[in-house]
């Protein structure tokens, strides 16, 4: 089975969740985020903060063709430790939200653990449950952006 690499952009993330640099690092290492997302998120923080950290300014000034992982690692290492489960849960939320918005590209014949209602009703039930989860998770993860 081929692994799907999503490349979720910063514009999608910004509207749904605030992310720590530890979470950004996880998304980059897991190949869930667009590599340019870190630079875009840094640019937004530099514009918003009165006294941004030097590493944040460096990341925001990174050329789009330069690797940014080293500076993301530096920013992430400067943050308080986070629970690996919390980071994975937020990443799962963002991945499911991304796939939900692009569901026509992803949903084919997904297995169901509930009674078969017919293909259209099964799809409608799946999408309703999916949307309910996303609404609940959005309330948990959409808070004020982190500052550096």
The tally of domains found in the chain comes to 1
The answer as to whether 2 is a domain residue is no
- Residue 30 belongs to some domain of the structure: yes
For each of the chain's 148 residues, which pLDDT tens digit applies? 456 678 999 999 998 999 999 999 999 999 999 989 999 999 999 999 999 999 999 999 998 888 889 999 999 999 999 899 999 999 999 998 998 888 777 665 555 556 556 667 877 887 888 888 888 888 777 654 444 3
The 3-state secondary structure of 9-72 reads: CHHHHHCCCCCCHHHHHHHHHCCCECCCHHHHHHHHHHHHCCCCCHHHHHHHCCCCCCCCHHHH
Within-domain flag for 38 = yes
pLDDT at 122: 74
> Can you give the residue range of the structural domain that contains 129?
10-141
pTM of the predicted structure, to 2 decimals: 0.76
């Amino acid at each position: 089975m081929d692994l799907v690499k999503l490349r979720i952009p910063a514009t999608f993330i910004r509207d749904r969740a605030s992310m720590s640099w530890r979470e950004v690092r996880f998304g980059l290492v897991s190949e869930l985020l667009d590599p340019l997302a870190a630079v875009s998120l840094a640019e937004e923080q530099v514009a918003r903060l009165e006294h941004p950290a030097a590493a944040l300014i460096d990341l925001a000034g990174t050329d789009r063709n330069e690797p940014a992982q080293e500076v993301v690692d530096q920013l992430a290492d400067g943050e308080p430790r986070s629970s690996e489960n919390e980071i994975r849960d937020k990443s799962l939320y963002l991945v499911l939200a991304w796939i939900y918005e692009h569901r026509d590209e992803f949903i084919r014949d997904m297995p169901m653990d509930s009674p078969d209602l017919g293909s259209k009703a099964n799809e409608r039930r799946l999408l309703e449950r999916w949307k309910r989860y996303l609404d609940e998770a959005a309330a948990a993860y959409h808070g004020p952006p982190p500052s550096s």
